Chains A and B, each alone.
Chain A
Amino acid sequence: MPQKQINGFNIDINDEGYMTNHAQWNREVAAALAQEAGITLTDAHWRVLGFIDKDFKEKGVVAGMRRMNKVGGIPTKELYALFPDGPIKKAAKIAGYPKPASCV
């Protein structure tokens, strides 16, 4: 499994750069992953990341658009503004969780 150094931390990642060991995640790692995606994290970003984190621990999957909206209270338009081009996969990557997937 590939590893990389980011912001002074060692993290395990998969081929697409998604973290494979959530225990290695922290706020500095998140900030650095966001930087790589061209995003500077603000409170609004943290609200999304916080929701993904809390929800993943409960459900075992990254929340979809509807869940972010209905349960997390984050409007879809805002999500696109914060994480342009595929907000869920970007936010999942920065939050240290797997890319939303189907069974194949």
Chain B
Amino acid sequence: MKRLLILGAGTAGTMMANHLRKRVNPADWRMTLIDQYPKHYYQPGFLFMPFGLYSEADVVRPKRDFIPRGLDYVEGKVERIDAEKNRVRLASGGSLDYDLLIVATGAKTAPDQTEGMTEGDWRKRVFDFYTFEGATALRRALRDWQGGRLVVHISEMPIKCPVAPLEFSFLADWWLAQRGLREKTELTYVTPLSSAFTKPICSEVLGHLLRQKRIQVVTDFNIARVDNERHRIVSWDEKEVPYDLLVTVPTNMGDAVIERSGLGDELNFIPTDRHTLQSKEHPNVFAIGDATDLPASKAGSVAHFEAEVLTKNLLHAMREEPLEKDFDGHANCFIETGYGKAVLIDFNYEVQPVQGTFPLPGLGPFSLLKESRLNHWGKLAFRWIYWNVLLKAAPMPGIGHRMSRAGKQLPAEALQAGAAA
């Protein structure tokens, strides 16, 4: 009997386990899923926790609730992947051989990559909301907030859910206004990119939001260090931004096991074929979700679309058939804009976010690249869909893994030249 291993039971690994359990004959393939932690976090919910909109109960479930029967589940830390020998070693000392391997070990924050970030001010004046602990600590800090300089900051690209820091800024503006603190707070958004909205159509349609909400923007800021004494972030070219409260998105990196195994790039992301999801180096290794180096967004919706393609390709690999080059970079993300509204974007490697309706052409009900209350309800409904549909790999009627161009207003410049050759 042959063996398939899935490393990581987060969003992507859990979805793959559920897809494959339904499609693969257990008499031919033994499947094993491995993860180090018992809790599954709904990470998109971390955005809402600092504002008291979600609590722990909304974002945490036991991993085992989503893992199908009929497949082995091992709780343990993966120490090393020996891709030359088709073997995975566990920190507990055991090892598992594989015929096919899926790496779904995700990405996590690495604040220690920035000089000074984890020193004196860390979790006192400097917070992240990309971890459960960070979002919880930030909740406490915001409760005590009396005004001053609030700085939202991205350390380095790529990050998971690239719109989350913008959403945080919009929600902070709304939340501060509710509490009568907006006039006492200077809100600044600091990015290493050359603008807050980098895609031409987005910046045309959404660019006014930052001005309207009086959020100052500092661009081209590449952080060199956090100055804990003077409470400033300092860039490589010696620009400084002072803060009373810094909400940073630290560098995001793949898990250290990828580095230990010599399988990653400079951020421990796995070089992966952007259309088949096969590792570029090892034909029997596949990667999915945040663990890859694909030029797609690191998002749960992307992992969902990838999982449909990867399921087909694993079945092909099991039958030794050629793979389908079927993943198009499709992502679908709600962007909270505050005051009970949100924007929806739907895009892929080739088509940047544009206006239109989704999923039904002309009917919606969601509107693309436009603020609406319904989009906000969509964002809130995403949590239910995540736990009850996405993780279980149940079908999503009307929403395919290939991005649909129907219902989209597509001017010529919406096709991004140079992307995804």
Whether B353 pairs with A103 at a CB distance below 8 angstroms is yes
Query: Which segment, of B40-48, B93-101, B199-207, faces chain A?
Result: B199-207
A89 to B412, CA, bound (A): 23
User: Which residues of B have CB within 8 Å of A57?
Assistant: 421
How many chain B residues touch A (CB < 8 A): the figure is 43
A15 to B195, CA, bound (A): 14
User: Is A27 positioned at the interface, with any CB of B under 8 Å from its CB?
Assistant: no
User: Which residues of B have CB within 8 Å of A76?
Assistant: 222, 224, 236
User: Which residues of B have CB within 8 Å of A41?
Assistant: none
A15 with B200, Cβ < 8 A, contacts A21-B417, A101-B193, A103-B353 known: yes
User: Is B190 positioned at the interface, with any CB of A under 8 Å from its CB?
Assistant: no
Interface of A (DSSP majority class):
loop
User: Is B416 positioned at the interface, with any CB of A under 8 Å from its CB?
Assistant: yes
User: Which residues of A have CB within 8 Å of B413?
Assistant: 1, 14
Q: In whole Å, how far is B375's beta carbon from the nearest beta carbon of chain A? A: 14
A59 to B335, CA, bound (A): 27
A89 with B421, Cβ < 8 A, contacts A59-B295, A67-B266, A77-B236 known: no
Whether A101 pairs with B199 at a CB distance below 8 angstroms is yes
User: Which residues of A have CB within 8 Å of B198?
Assistant: 99-102, 104
A104 with B266, Cβ < 8 A, contacts A76-B236, A80-B236 known: no
Whether A66 pairs with B156 at a CB distance below 8 angstroms is yes
A66 to B419, CA, bound (A): 21
User: Which residues of A have CB within 8 Å of B421?
Assistant: 57, 60
User: Which residues of A have CB within 8 Å of B295?
Assistant: 59-61
User: Which residues of A have CB within 8 Å of B274?
Assistant: 60
A60 with B265, Cβ < 8 A, contacts A89-B194, A99-B194 known: no
A64 with B156, Cβ < 8 A, contacts A71-B266, A103-B353 known: yes
User: Which residues of A have CB within 8 Å of B206?
Assistant: 104
Q: In whole Å, how far is A15's beta carbon from the nearest beta carbon of chain B? A: 7
Whether A104 pairs with B194 at a CB distance below 8 angstroms is no
A69 to B156, CA, bound (A): 13
Chain B residue nearest to A15 (CB atoms) is B200
Whether B353 pairs with A89 at a CB distance below 8 angstroms is no
User: Which B positions have Cβ atoms within 8 angstroms of A?
Assistant: 156-157, 162-163, 166, 192-194, 197-200, 202, 206, 219-220, 222, 224, 236-237, 251, 265-267, 274, 293, 295, 297, 331, 333, 335, 345, 347, 349, 353, 412-413, 416-421
User: With A60-B274, A64-B156 given, can you name 19 additional A-B contacts, CB distance below 8 Å?
Assistant: A14-B413, A64-B157, A65-B222, A65-B236, A66-B251, A67-B267, A71-B265, A86-B194, A86-B219, A97-B418, A98-B419, A99-B198, A100-B157, A100-B198, A103-B199, A103-B347, A104-B163, A104-B199, A104-B335
* A-B residue pairs in contact (CB < 8 Å), sample of 25: A21-B417, A60-B419, A60-B420, A65-B192, A65-B236, A66-B266, A76-B224, A85-B220, A86-B220, A97-B418, A98-B417, A98-B418, A100-B157, A100-B193, A101-B193, A101-B198, A102-B162, A102-B163, A102-B193, A103-B333, A103-B345, A103-B347, A104-B162, A104-B198, A104-B206
> Which 5 pairs of residues, A with B, have the shortest CB-CB distance?
A101-B198, A86-B220, A70-B266, A20-B417, A104-B202
